[in-house]
Structure 1
Amino acid sequence: MKALIIDDERLARTELRRLLEPFKDIQIVGEAVNADDAAEKIAQLNPELLFLDIQMPGKSGFDLLEMLDKVPKVIFTTAYDEYALKAFEYNALDYLLKPIEPKRLEEAIRKIVEHEKKDVQVKSALPEILSAEDQVFVKDGDRCWFVKLERIRLFESEGNYVRLYFEDNKPLILRTLNYLDERLDPRSFFRANRKHIINLKWIESIEPWLSGGLLVKLKGGQKVEVSRRQAVKFKEMLSL
């Protein structure tokens, strides 16, 4: 698994590299010293895992995740424990306090390797792509639906869950947005930003938005911002 270390302290990066040497499943492909540096290297190196410090000069680790359209798996590494609850709102697989104890790091790596194996098993057991015509079973509490994907206008990430919007229903399912992004047909569903996938058939209007992005209004009332990076892909995909 390709990993990127993001920390403004050189000694912290060096120490983490040393601690990770015994773990052959983890391949360190690079280091970054701040959020902007990390965003560039994530785009270049496409890591599957981030070891991410939270407090850095300028933008924080949380700010970095907000900048990304698709967030890799994350293990936070920080000297502060007060961010733990917020960290797990960002899909963090673990939260390691500095100085990092080798035993805690081993637990985190074991967790992420098991998580990766489970993802592979789930993907191999299911069809690769779901089209708009496919029907899916949705359960939220005591309520159940058997719904065609073409009826779902919006998928919204809420941590390790995704909220679906169809008709007046808003069920919450135990899936990540990254997982759905890999399963849904890109001809019908578009990853607008870190938190949203939209159904292209439900677009009512599009207008220019901040920093080169777009604002999409869906039939049903929701407004979704398409990030600057995704706006480029969006225009290319929908242009003649």
Structure 2
Amino acid sequence: MNALLVDDSRLARTELRHLLQAFPEVTVVGEARHAQEARTLLHELQPDLLFLDIHMPGETGFELLASLETAPHVIFTTAYDEYALQAFEVNALDYLLKPIQENRLTSALSKARAKLMVPAPVAVAVAGPEAEEAPVAPLTEHDQVFVKDGERCWFVRLSDIRLFEINGSYTQIYFEQHRPLIPRTLQHLEQRLDPRVFFRANRQQIINLKWVESIEPWFSNTLKIKLRGGGPEVEVSRQQSARFREMLSL
């Protein structure tokens, strides 16, 4: 993947270039200090990937994108978190807050890799509604995710989500006082979430272990868990109760 770095801070560009050295599949083909310079280099270099700051002298990163007829895949790099929703509205792959963490950069590049290297679709039988999706990097509790339910949007840190629960053909997310629905299965979420933090309690629910308030024995050697912050009590299946004890006992 050929990448262009656009940031008015030379130090920020140097730090990002240094971080990208850990990813041999990424080649930094150029750097730009502002939108006008970036526009010229985009035309000349035709990069696959654009690491783009938002606040720059002259035009913002959003204004640069709006002026382009075509653009590479974009990963925003910024010190400001209030533009996250706007970033996803312009189909950004990811939104990295400075100082950029290596695990977040890894996740962003995995998304870029999936977009750029997925083979052309072929006619095959699929196992379920999500089988056609390209694999993406696992998420940590420190990652922030974009959640949209109808006309409402959130940019929420996974550590703030205490429960995922099946609701019809959707999954309901519990964080703060919100209960949005997303078109994802628990199986898909379980594959993406850190198993050291998010535990599949039963066929209907995944809990955040750091939100557990109390645990009590329940019927047939199972467990019942109460979470801080409200929401339903969670009855852990017999198989998962045994796994829970084994995983968390000294």
TM-score, normalised on structure 2?
0.48
One-letter code of the match for 1:136? V
Alignment partners' CA distance in 1, 2:161 and 2:124: 31
> Identity rate of aligned residues, in percent?
57
Asked if 1 retains the 8 angstrom alpha-carbon contact of 2:214 and 2:225, the reply is yes
1:170 aligned partner = 179
1:207 aligned partner = 216
2:204 aligned partner = 195
Structure 2 unmatched runs, 5+: 1-122
Larger radius of gyration: 2
1:234 to 209, 223, 244: 244
Alignment partners' CA distance in 1, 2:134 and 2:247: 26
Alignment partners' CA distance in 2, 1:227 and 1:210: 10
2:125 aligned partner = 113
Helix, strand or coil at the partner of 1:182: helix
Structure with the larger helix share: 1
Alignment of 1:1-240 (within 5 A): 113-116=125-128, 119-124=130-135, 126-127=136-137, 129-222=138-231, 223-240=233-250
One-letter code of the match for 1:226? V
Please identify runs of 4+ aligned residues in structure 1 that moved more than 3 A. Answer: 118-121
* Deviation sequence 1:188-216 (CA, Å, 0-9, x none): 00000010000000000000001111000
Structure 1 unmatched runs, 5+: 1-110
**Cα offset, 1:168, TM superposition:** 0.2
Alignment partners' CA distance in 2, 1:238 and 1:191: 14
Q: What is the Cα-based RMSD across aligned positions, in Å?
A: 1.9
Q: Which has the higher contact order (CA 8 A, sep 6+)?
A: 1
* Deviation sequence 1:39-88 (CA, Å, 0-9, x none): xxxxxxxxxxxxxxxxxxxxxxxxxxxxxxxxxxxxxxxxxxxxxxxxxx
**Cα offset, 1:114, TM superposition:** 3.5
**Cα offset, 1:220, TM superposition:** 1.5
Helix, strand or coil at the partner of 2:147: strand
TM-score, normalised on structure 1?
0.50
Alignment partners' CA distance in 2, 1:180 and 1:186: 11
Aligned pairs, how many?
Answer: 127
Alignment partners' CA distance in 2, 1:218 and 1:149: 15
